[in-house]
């Protein structure tokens, strides 16, 4: 079992637990000729992230993501520029709220193992609240999966790929060697790069094999941690 290689696991939130809500973005982009189905929009997120990573874009730059997302959702060429603009204007921190079903299953399994876990997210001050509202997790005991800490970049004033952001989580995992702590994210630039620089073991969630041949570990689903 992959999870047995680690004594703790830290997670990104966007793209790992939560996606930009496909039940909002589906109808939004259908106006521009896109396919509104949920599976198409789930795939579009990772296509967007692959394009964002290929461009080396950090948190503030979503141009490549937006264009790749709308193309992947089936928006025709002549509508891509406008649909990408509409996506940019509509998607906001609070629309990252749709919980990924496989991830919830995996969290339940990791919790049952007693795996120490935490979240480190580039966010806008909202991520802990949305994770709880969406039924994913909370800091400490509660109705969902307990996390030792949920770090929000807006709150701590440091964002990935700056490895210093992980220090705000790692103080809750004292005594565990960094090389035995996995960090699971969906951005090569921010998550793989940041976790590597922090001395953690980076893992990319790559459900559609967009990063074949990469020199870092990949999983197709968080459920792979349990197999």
Q: Rounded to the nearest whole angstrom, what is the least distance from the CB of residue 189 to Mg ion in the complex?
A: 11
In the chain the first and final C-alpha atoms are separated, in Å, by 5
Nearer to Mg ion among residue 80 and residue 184 (C-beta): 184
Between CA 186 and CA 170 the distance in angstroms is 20
Size of the site for Mg ion (CB under 5 A): 4
Q: Does 206 help bind Mg ion (rule: CB under 5 A)?
A: no
Q: What are phi and psi of 11, to 5 degrees?
A: -130, 145
Q: How far apart are CA 115 and CA 69, in angstroms?
A: 34
Using the rule CB under 5 A, give the single segment among 5-13, 31-39, 96-104, 135-143 that binds Mg ion.
5-13
Q: Supply the minimum distance, in Å, between the C-beta of residue 13 and Mg ion.
A: 7
Out of 21, 67, 186, 210, name the contact with Mg ion by CB under 5 A. 186
- Name which of 108, 102, 101 is nearest 223 in CA terms: 102
Among 3, 9, 10, 15, binds Mg ion (CB under 5 A): 15
Q: Is 152 in the site for Mg ion (CB under 5 A)?
A: no
Return the residue of 6, 12, 43, 96 that touches Mg ion, per CB under 5 A. Answer: 12
Q: Are 132 and 144 in contact (CB under 8 A)?
A: yes
Give whichever of 71 and 160 is closer to Mg ion, judged by the CB atom: 160
Closest Cα to residue 129, out of 142, 110, 114?
142
Q: Which residues bind Mg ion (CB under 5 A)?
A: 12, 14-15, 186
């Amino acid at each position: 079992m992959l999870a047995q290689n680690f004594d703790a696991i830290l997670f990104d939130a966007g793209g790992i637990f939560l996606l930009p809500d496909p039940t909002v973005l589906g109808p939004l982009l259908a106006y521009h000729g896109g396919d509104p189905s949920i599976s198409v929009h789930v795939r579009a997120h990772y296509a967007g992230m692959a394009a964002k990573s290929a461009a080396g874009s950090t948190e503030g730059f979503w141009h490549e993501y937006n264009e790749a997302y709308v193309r992947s959702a089936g928006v025709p060429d002549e509508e891509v520029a406008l649909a990408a603009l509409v996506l940019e204007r509509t998607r906001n921190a609070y629309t990252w709220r749709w919980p990924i079903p496989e991830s919830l299953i995996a969290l339940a399994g990791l919790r049952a193992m007693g795996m120490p876990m935490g979240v480190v997210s580039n966010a806008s001050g909202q991520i802990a609240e949305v994770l709880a509202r969406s039924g994913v997790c909370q800091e400490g005991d509660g109705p969902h999966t307990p996390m030792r800490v949920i770090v929000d970049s807006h709150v701590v004033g440091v964002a990935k790929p700056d490895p210093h952001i992980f220090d705000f989580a790692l103080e809750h995992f004292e005594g565990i060697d960094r090389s035995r702590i996995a960090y699971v994210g969906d951005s090569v630039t921010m998550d793989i790069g940041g976790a590597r620089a922090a001395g953690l073991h980076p893992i990319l969630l790559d459900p559609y094999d967009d990063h074949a041949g990469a020199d870092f570990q990949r999983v197709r689903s968080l459920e792979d941690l349990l197999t």
